């Protein structure tokens, strides 16, 4: 299970005439993160800075990056990234856009402003807990279909079903519960069902 944001979130803060617009979005991989960052930079191409940070955890993969986008080193990207760490979020990208208002904020002021804009965007997006899932393919007989479907609902959900001489069910179950489900399906169907992992 991991924590991420529910949807895209945007929030605006003002500090000493500078406007900071925080943008947060759920992502699945680094390509998603880069596309999100680029999209915000293009939308706010007239801004002075578009500071970004993202954190991705998938299976054994960890990608953690931030960019100050021309602000003093460590004053902006790192504080935004720290928000992701402190809130224990993953698979999230954040961009904070700054329109300079004529008053310098100093290192501490910049850090605080970027951090608060990131927090506001994340709060606007909402935080959720997501169970990591494992995809399985179950081949069952027509007589076993209803009890197997009911069992699948206890562990996850049905993705697709295909009816031929047998019924092929594509399902997702909570990671860590697949062995238990496989054992129960095998017992329930008296070994008539076959189970295979999808994509690994």
User: Per residue in 68-90, pLDDT tens?
Assistant: 999 999 999 999 999 999 999 99
What are 14-34's pLDDT values in tens digits? Answer: 999 999 999 999 999 999 999
Domain boundary among 105, 130, 155: 130
Q: What is the pLDDT of residues 101-151, one digit of tens each?
A: 999 999 999 999 999 999 999 999 999 998 888 899 999 999 999 999 999
* 166 touches 148 (CB < 8 A): no
* Residue whose entry in the numeric block shows the structure tokens 């208002």: 101
Give residue 175's pLDDT: 85
Quick one: pLDDT at residue 133? 83
Single out the residue of 98, 56, 60 nearest to residue 81, CA to CA: 56
Q: What is the pLDDT of residue 31?
A: 95
Q: Are 68 and 158 in a shared domain?
A: no
What percent of the chain is predicted at pLDDT more than 70?
98
Looking up residue 146, the CATH number of its domain turns out to be 3.30.70.240
Q: Pick from 130, 151, 185: which residue ends a domain?
A: 130
The answer to whether residues 135 and 176 touch, using CB atoms and an 8 Å cutoff, is: no
Task: Indicate if the pLDDT at residue 158 is higher than 60.
Answer: yes
Q: Which tokens is 191 given?
A: 């070994």
pLDDT band at residue 2 under the 50/70/90 scheme: confident
Rounded Cα gap, residues 74 and 56, in angstroms = 20
200 DSSP assignment: -
Are 32 and 83 in the same domain?
Answer: yes
Q: 28-33: which pairs have CB atoms within 8 A and are 24 or more residues apart?
A: 28/56, 28/58, 28/91, 29/56, 29/58, 30/54, 30/56, 30/63, 32/93, 33/63, 33/65, 33/93
| pLDDT for 121 | 98
**Over 90: is that where the pLDDT of 200 sits?**
no
Q: What is the pLDDT of residues 31-61, one digit of tens each?
A: 999 999 999 999 999 999 999 999 999 767 8
Domain limits at 37?
2-130
Instruction: Say whether both 70 and 92 belong to one domain.
Output: yes
């Amino acid at each position: 299970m991991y924590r991420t944001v529910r949807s895209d979130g945007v929030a605006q803060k003002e500090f000493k005439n500078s406007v900071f617009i925080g943008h947060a979005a759920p992502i699945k991989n680094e390509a998603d993160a880069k596309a999100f960052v680029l999209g915000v930079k293009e939308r706010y191409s007239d801004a002075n800075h578009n500071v970004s940070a993202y954190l991705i955890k998938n299976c054994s993969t960890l990608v953690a990056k931030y960019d100050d986008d021309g602000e003093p080193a460590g004053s902006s990207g790192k504080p935004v990234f720290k928000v992701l760490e402190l809130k224990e979020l993953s698979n999230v990208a954040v961009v904070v856009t700054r329109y300079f208002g004529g008053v310098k904020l100093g290192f501490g002021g910049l850090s605080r402003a970027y951090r608060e804009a990131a927090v506001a965007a994340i709060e606007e997006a909402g935080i959720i807990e997501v169970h990591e899932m494992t995809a399985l393919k179950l081949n069952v007989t027509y007589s076993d279909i209803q009890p197997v479907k009911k069992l699948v609902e206890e562990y996850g959900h049905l993705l697709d079903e295909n009816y031929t001489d047998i019924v092929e069910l594509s399902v997702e179950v909570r990671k860590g519960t697949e062995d238990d489900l496989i054992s129960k399906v095998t017992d329930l169907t008296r070994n008539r069902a076959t189970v295979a992992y999808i994509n690994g």
